Amino acid sequence: MFTGIVEEQGTVREISRGAATMRLIVGAALILDGSDVGASVAVNGACLTVVERGSDRLIFDVGPETLERTALGGLAPGAAVNLERPLRFGGALGGHLVLGHVDGVGTVEGVTRVESTARVRIVLPGKEWAPLLVPKGSIAVDGVSLTVAAVDGAGFEVMLIPHTLAATTLGALETGRRVNLEADVIGKYVVRCLALRGTA
């Protein structure tokens, strides 16, 4: 369980690709504390397990399911990634409840700078997403907890403040960029419950 509050930006050091898997080596500093082998870390919003740890890096194995459902397969050495350790009991919940289970991949359709902020429009992976988003609700974009500023059947918009632009990879968003999306877990349960009752 995470909060969507990015602790640091790591750097992809190396990627080794297999037939259907990928080994990801990420340079990090702050989140090394407590991230021993077997620990969970959100990498661009995807919960991954630490399989090896060095003095300045963490190593993850990325399986076929994760590669299929996330944008991690598009990473390259030198890319920046958002990193967050799991929420600890008693810790501050500054964002919203984020599971680290990416629901799909969206595509940035436009980035508009408004003074020191940015308004970003993201196209949804499919029309089935529409019921999961509400104005002023929460969504995780590449692991960053954001408030939905506007939503329609095809996509949604978020506003990024200067701190978010500086502290996360979202400051480098460009049109065409693929981003990991995780809808609010409460909304997913509500939609599922209504669907089972035949009232969705």
- Please check whether residues 63 and 111 belong to one and the same domain: no
Question: What is the residue range of 38's domain?
Answer: 8-84
In contact, 158 and 197? CB cutoff 8 Å: no
In a domain, 89, yes or no: no
- Please check whether residues 111 and 192 belong to one and the same domain: yes
In a domain, 95, yes or no: no
pLDDT at 25 over 90: yes
In a domain, 97, yes or no: no
**pLDDT at res. 90:** 66
Average pLDDT over residues 53-59: 97
Q: What angle do CA 169, 174, 175 make, to 5 degrees?
A: 140
**pLDDT at res. 147:** 96
**pLDDT at res. 96:** 82
Among 60, 37, 45, 52, CA closest to 4: 45
- Please check whether residues 49 and 112 belong to one and the same domain: no
Confidence grade of residue 143 (pLDDT, cut at 50, 70, 90):
very high
Average pLDDT over residues 2-12: 96
pTM listed for this prediction: 0.92
Tens of pLDDT, residue by residue over 122-134, are 999 998 888 889 9
Phi (first) and psi of residue 27, to 5 degrees: -75, 135
In a domain, 110, yes or no: yes
Tens of pLDDT, residue by residue over 96-126, are 889 999 999 999 999 999 899 999 999 999 9
Among 133, 29, 126, 119, CA closest to 83: 29
Here the CATH number for the domain that contains residue 151 is 2.40.30.20
Confidence grade of residue 199 (pLDDT, cut at 50, 70, 90):
low
- Please check whether residues 18 and 76 belong to one and the same domain: yes
Q: Which residues on adjacent β-strands are paired with residue 79?
A: none
112 or 185, higher pLDDT = 112
- Please check whether residues 111 and 141 belong to one and the same domain: yes
Tens of pLDDT, residue by residue over 70-98, are 999 999 999 999 999 998 776 666 778 89
